[in-house]
């Protein structure tokens, strides 16, 4: 299964997690089974809050979960409608995210627990 982590850089496992899902410069996609990593430029990073199109940016990459520090209700709704779960983490790097995901130490982001703006955390 592939996990998508919004990141500041293209450094793979060393990339720093971005604060907010939709406005991240990159999406680092990690296959937790094979260890393969793919980095996708977020061409929709500069958008008005609530109008991001993350699934269009991810294109044909099959993602089962998104792990980030926060995201808005619209993104949570769009992901959940596509069968993708969203989880919140305080980790600093993609490597930390993967460790915590595999250990089951993540909190699912619900619409009620989503961010109300880019400065929410």
Q: Is residue 63 part of a domain?
A: yes
pLDDT at residue 110, rounded to an integer: 72
Higher pLDDT, 31 or 45: 31
**Within a domain: residue 40?**
yes
Residue 119 lies in a domain: no
Domain region containing 103: 2-108
58-83 residue pLDDT tens: 777 889 999 988 887 878 888 899 89
For residue 77, tell me if it sits in a domain.
yes
Indicate the number of domains in the chain.
Answer: 1
Distance from C-alpha of 67 to C-alpha of 74, rounded to nearest angstrom:
16
CA distance 26 to 15: 10
Name the band, by pLDDT with cuts 50, 70 and 90, for residue 45. Answer: low
Residue 67 resides in a domain: yes
CATH code of residue 54? 3.30.420.130
**Position 121 in a domain:** no
Beta strand 37-41 with 26-31: parallel, antiparallel or unpaired?
A: antiparallel
Residue 52 lies in a domain: yes
């Amino acid at each position: 299964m592939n996990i998508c982590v919004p990141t500041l850089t293209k450094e793979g496992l060393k990339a720093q997690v971005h604060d907010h899902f939709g406005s991240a410069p990159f999406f680092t996609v990690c296959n937790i089974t094979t260890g393969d990593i793919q980095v996708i430029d977020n061409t929709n990073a500069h958008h008005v809050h609530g109008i991001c199109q993350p699934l269009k940016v991810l294109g044909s990459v099959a993602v089962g979960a998104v792990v980030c520090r926060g995201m808005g209700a619209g993104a949570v709704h769009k992901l959940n409608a596509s069968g993708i779960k969203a989880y919140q983490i305080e980790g600093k790097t993609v490597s930390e995210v993967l460790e915590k995901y595999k250990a089951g130490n993540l909190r699912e982001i619900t619409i009620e627990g989503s961010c109300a703006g880019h400065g929410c955390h």
